[in-house]
Copies of this chain bind each other. A is one copy, B any other.
Amino acid sequence: MHTLQVSLGERSYPIHIASGLLDRADLLAPHVKAAQAVVVTNETVAPLYLQRLKNTLEKAGVSVIPVILPDGERFKTWETLNLIFDALLGAHCERSTPLIALGGGVIGDMGGFAAACYQRGMPFIQVPTTLLSLVDSSVGGKTAINHPLGKNMIGAFYQPRLVLADIATLDTLPERELRAGLAEVIKYGLIRDPAFLVWLESNLEKLLARDRESLIYAVHRSCANKAEVVAADERESGERALLNLGHTFGHAIETGMGYGAWLHGEAVAAGTMIASELSRLLGWLTADDVERVRRIFSRAGLPVVAPGLGVARYLELMRHDKKVQDGRLRLVLLRSVGQAVLSDVAREDQIGEAIELMCT
């Protein structure tokens, strides 16, 4: 088992990474000091893993209150969040009752936000079951729900007490979601870890074939990158913003196409292609660099062209994003392959040109 520590003072917590962790009562028990715990999951994950987690918790003397939500990004709304609150209040949960999110990014975001808000904060544990949530959303404390006018607009920074990354859960992940998760893995290589990018270029097929040791290595290295960034900048006042490479364009794609039509990782891949093209227009990347980025996403089976929403619609959607300051779009761009920067130097016409070049 690998263990990483996210260093955030009194809010520090461990990430355990290995295969079979769902059965490890010894890892959960120190963080569940209560007679009961809430497990928030969804209709897809519950039949696969809820009973196993329940058995493990019961072995530790903890009874489980399950909350099973509908599956999908389009349910990441206040209405669904309220189902969690109704269950918590209906079961007389206390502020000391732990809430465990068992599932992917949507479950982690909603479970975490519910835990942040219920009685102003209850203990929170992440048990991610998708590649995306293993390498990204379960680490770092960002929680949120969507608003009709923008993705992740309503949320909280709220750190978990523990992340239990059981790589074996990837066995049941649909192919499309595995590929979407790889977009965030590749991202770490692009923004700050060029050696990891080289490793990915050599080992992508093994990851797609779900070779367990390769997955553990990729998850561990991704989480290590993320933990470093989050420890340096918990509330995203600086370096942490670099994790959003491709996300401002990607959020516009997700919102513009309707939540759920594009998977988050798919939108991030296409968004990263626009960001790369814009970096080329600014003279930072060569055409060969852009081609290298395209090739790795393409090999991972991810979209490398963006949907044709029209430049005006892209810009309108991007204005709602959280990366606007003093009215200027601040974008994560690539200084080189392996080094991202946050910049507002791109003019609107250049942004528009990059969008047009990368759209179908």
Q: A-side interface residues toward B, CB under 8 Å? A: 35, 78, 82, 85-86, 89-90, 92, 94-96, 116-121, 142, 144, 147, 149-150, 153-157, 235, 319-320, 322, 324-326
Report whether A117 and B154 are in contact in the complex, using a CB–CB cutoff of 8 Å: yes
CB of A279, distance to nearest CB on chain B (Å): 24
Known A-B contacts A35-B326, A82-B78, A325-B96; the reply to A116 vs B153 at CB < 8 A is no
Report whether A119 and B153 are in contact in the complex, using a CB–CB cutoff of 8 Å: yes
Please tell me which one of the listed residues B142, B156, B319, B325 contacts residue A156 in the complex, with CB atoms under 8 A apart: B156
Please indicate the chain B residues that have their CB under 8 angstroms from the CB of A94 in the complex: 322, 324-326
C-alpha gap A85/B153 in the complex (Å):
9
CB of A344, distance to nearest CB on chain B (Å): 13
Report whether A322 and B89 are in contact in the complex, using a CB–CB cutoff of 8 Å: no
Please indicate the chain B residues that have their CB under 8 angstroms from the CB of A324 in the complex: 92, 94
Q: What are some 23 contacts across the A-B interface (CB < 8 A)?
A: A35-B326, A78-B78, A78-B82, A89-B149, A89-B150, A89-B153, A92-B319, A92-B324, A94-B325, A96-B326, A116-B156, A117-B154, A117-B156, A118-B153, A119-B153, A119-B155, A119-B322, A120-B142, A120-B156, A120-B235, A121-B156, A121-B157, A121-B235
Additional pairs, 11, CB under 8 Å, beyond known A35-B326, A86-B149: A78-B82, A85-B153, A89-B320, A90-B149, A94-B324, A95-B322, A96-B325, A117-B155, A118-B154, A119-B155, A120-B155
Q: Interface on chain A toward B: helix, strand, loop, or mixed SS?
A: mixed
Q: Which of A90, A94, A96, A118 has the most CB of B within 10 A?
A: A94
Please indicate the chain B residues that have their CB under 8 angstroms from the CB of A149 in the complex: 86, 89-90
CB of A230, distance to nearest CB on chain B (Å): 13
Report whether B147 and A89 are in contact in the complex, using a CB–CB cutoff of 8 Å: yes
Report whether A120 and B89 are in contact in the complex, using a CB–CB cutoff of 8 Å: no
Closest to A142 in B: B120
Please tell me which one of the listed residues B78, B85, B144 contacts residue A120 in the complex, with CB atoms under 8 A apart: B144
CB of A183, distance to nearest CB on chain B (Å): 22
CB of A317, distance to nearest CB on chain B (Å): 12
C-alpha gap A116/B157 in the complex (Å):
9
Report whether B85 and A157 are in contact in the complex, using a CB–CB cutoff of 8 Å: no
Please indicate the chain B residues that have their CB under 8 angstroms from the CB of A121 in the complex: 156-157, 235
C-alpha gap A90/B148 in the complex (Å):
11
Report whether B147 and A85 are in contact in the complex, using a CB–CB cutoff of 8 Å: yes
CB of A289, distance to nearest CB on chain B (Å): 31
CB of A1, distance to nearest CB on chain B (Å): 31
Report whether B154 and A320 are in contact in the complex, using a CB–CB cutoff of 8 Å: no
Please indicate the chain B residues that have their CB under 8 angstroms from the CB of A92 in the complex: 319-320, 324
Please indicate the chain B residues that have their CB under 8 angstroms from the CB of A118 in the complex: 153-154
Q: Which of A90, A117, A120 has the most CB of B within 10 A?
A: A120
Closest to A113 in B: B117
C-alpha gap A150/B326 in the complex (Å):
40
CB of A85, distance to nearest CB on chain B (Å): 6
C-alpha gap A356/B100 in the complex (Å):
40
CB of A326, distance to nearest CB on chain B (Å): 7
Report whether B82 and A157 are in contact in the complex, using a CB–CB cutoff of 8 Å: no
Closest to A141 in B: B120
Closest to A145 in B: B117
CB of A200, distance to nearest CB on chain B (Å): 30
Please indicate the chain B residues that have their CB under 8 angstroms from the CB of A150 in the complex: 89
C-alpha gap A40/B156 in the complex (Å):
20
